Amino acid sequence: MRLSPDEMIFWQYGFFKLNATIVFTWGLMFVLAVGSKVITRKFSTGMQRSHWQNLLEIIVTGIEQQIEEVGLSQPRKYIGFLGTLFLFVAAASLSIVIPGYEPPTGSLSTTVALALCVFVAVPLFGIEEQGVGNYLKSYMKPTFIMLPFNIISELSRTLALAVRLFGNMMSGAMIIGILLTITPFLFPIVMTMLGLLTGMVQAYIFFILATVYIAAATRVRKRKLGTEAKQ
Amino acid sequence: MLIDWFTVGAQALNFLILVWLMKRFLYQPILTAIDKREKRIATEIADADKQKGEAQKERDEFQHKNEELDQQRATLLSKATDEAKALRQRLFDEARQDADVMAAKRMETLRNEEHDLQQAISRRTQQEVFAIARKALTDLATTSLEARLGEVFTRRLREMDDQAKAGLAEALKTATGPALVRSAFDLPLEQRTSIQNALNETFSAEILVQFETAPELISGIELTTHGQKVAWSIADYLVSMEKGVQELLQEKVKAEPKLEDAQPETKNQ
């Protein structure tokens, strides 16, 4: 039994390989990019607009609003990264309705890659906002004793991010696979619907946690500036 | 092994490429479009507000002008009404004056007509009386009217009262020329002689007399000398008749204006 689409390898040359994870990811990327391009090509700035344009506008403004509500005052700066995280995970989850498809997020490699991206992006956004010194100092707050705990927290939350998404997506796929062998018709459909729901929830969780981490990394300085202004 | 590090790297790279693609094809166009739309809406709202303000301003201005026009109209109307009243009064006065003038003229014409009629009646009456008298005298006696007139005149001379006689005698004495006897017709020699005799007898002197014909004396004879006059004519008899005729006409004239006054009143109503 296959636990991850990584195990389905189409082509391999030494270290390089082309497995199902990468192929499905490319498929998703293609659909997302080409779909966006096709829809935004005929974008109107007037009051009359197409249904697809409305849908995309609702999604994008919804993401923007969510980022702002979490506490990032300039959502447009982060929407490229955070929005893509949400859309990629959501698209990967929703595509499970396509027969023969396996979500790339069901591979621990993908989720680790996404978690690593977040892991790198958080300090980058933090440094960009506060500067290197200030950002590094934030690890020693309230006291330097907290430094190892902060580092452990940073690593563990990245791991948790990766494993949570992988576990959920993989378990969903596994349950459907197992149920197909037991009750072939009705039950897998119900579970697929449940999988769609959990997939969306996971996409939201991944997106919102990443937003919260970035917000936490960039907000320290602002809070400090706020207190200085009050004094 | 659940983690394949090549796949991890490839997926990380794929994700970064996807981030770039999404930024390029999704977020940027959508956010730009939304910004443009918001800007456009804001501009339209601002324009609408501006237009509304202008419309309000224009409406106020229009109302103000309207009020001004109303006031002007009212002023002009009252002025026109006053002028019309004044004009009406003036025309009324003029009409009344004209009517008065016309009435006066008419009265004058009426009076002239009355006068003419009176004269005509007088003349006619005189002529008629003369004709009647002539006829009557002719019928009654063989003596012609002229002869009778001469007789009457002669008798008058003889029967003059003393005062008149004295006045006439004085006049005859002081007169430089002969006494003038005028008659409406040529007196026959017999009558002339009779008058001459009567004068001579009455004043006891030879009085120079010149006879003249004056048609304006209707059937009459008069003697004039130095401002004194003895006359007899049918006209004397006609005076009473003339008076009677005049009274009759005056009554008629008085009755007519009353009728005329009543007519304009009915017209005015």
Q: Who among A25, A37, A80 is closest to B27 (CB)?
A: A80
Does the beta-carbon distance from A17 to B33 stay under 8 Å?
no
To the nearest 10 degrees (0 to 180), the angle between helices A75-94 and A146-182 is: 30
Does the beta-carbon distance from A36 to B21 stay under 8 Å?
yes
Does the beta-carbon distance from A83 to B40 stay under 8 Å?
no
A40–chain B Cβ distance below 8 A for any pair: yes
Q: Who among B3, B18, B26 is closest to A29 (CB)?
A: B18
Q: CB atoms < 10 A from the CB of B261, how many?
A: 10
How many A/B residue pairs have CB atoms within 8 Å? 121
* Structure-block tokens of residue B1: 């092994």
Q: Who among A15, A25, A83 is closest to B6 (CB)?
A: A15
Place of tokens 């006054």: B261
* Distance in Å, alpha carbon of A30 to nearest chain B alpha carbon: 9
- Answer for the pair B220, B235: CB distance below 8 angstroms, yes or no: yes
* Structure-block tokens of residue B17: 């490429």
* Distance in Å, alpha carbon of B53 to nearest chain A alpha carbon: 24
Spatial separation of the C-alpha atoms in residues A161 and A211, rounded to whole Å: 12
Q: What is the pLDDT of residue B249?
A: 64
In the predicted model, residues of chain A with pLDDT beneath 50 are 231
Beta bridge partners of residue B229, listed in sequence order: B224
Name the strand (E) or helix (H) holding B183: strand B179-183
Beta bridge partners of residue B44, listed in sequence order: none
Cis peptide bond prior to A123, omega within 30° of 0: no
A3–chain B Cβ distance below 8 A for any pair: yes
Q: Is the dihedral of CA B117, B118, B120, B124 positive or negative?
A: positive
Spatial separation of the C-alpha atoms in residues B241 and B125, rounded to whole Å: 9
- Residue A129 corresponds to which amino acid? E
Q: Which residue of A has its CA nearest to B29?
A: A40
Residues of A in contact with B11 (CB under 8 A): 21-22, 25, 104, 107, 109-110, 113-114
Q: Who among B6, B8, B19 is closest to A84 (CB)?
A: B19
B interface test, pick of A2, A3, A110 with most B CB neighbours within 10 Å: A110
User: What are the tens digits of pLDDT across the range A74-116?
Assistant: 899 999 999 999 999 999 999 988 888 888 998 889 999 999 9
A57–chain B Cβ distance below 8 A for any pair: yes
* Structure-block tokens of residue A138: 């934030």
A26–chain B Cβ distance below 8 A for any pair: yes
In chain B, the domains with their CATH numbers are: 143-236 (3.30.360)
Q: Who among A22, A36, A117 is closest to B26 (CB)?
A: A36
CA distances from B152 to B187, B192, B194 (A): 13, 13, 11
pLDDT tens track, chain B, 269 positions: 578 899 999 999 999 999 999 999 999 999 998 898 899 999 999 999 999 999 999 999 999 999 999 999 999 999 999 999 999 999 999 999 999 999 999 899 988 888 888 878 877 776 777 677 666 655 665 556 677 777 888 888 888 888 888 888 888 878 777 888 888 777 778 888 888 888 888 888 788 888 888 766 666 778 888 777 777 766 566 566 667 766 776 676 566 555 545 444 444 43
B interface test, pick of A17, A40, A50 with most B CB neighbours within 10 Å: A40
Spatial separation of the C-alpha atoms in residues A217 and A118, rounded to whole Å: 12
Domain boundaries, chain A: 5-230
Does the beta-carbon distance from B30 to A84 stay under 8 Å?
no
Is this complex's ipTM strictly greater than 0.95?
Answer: no
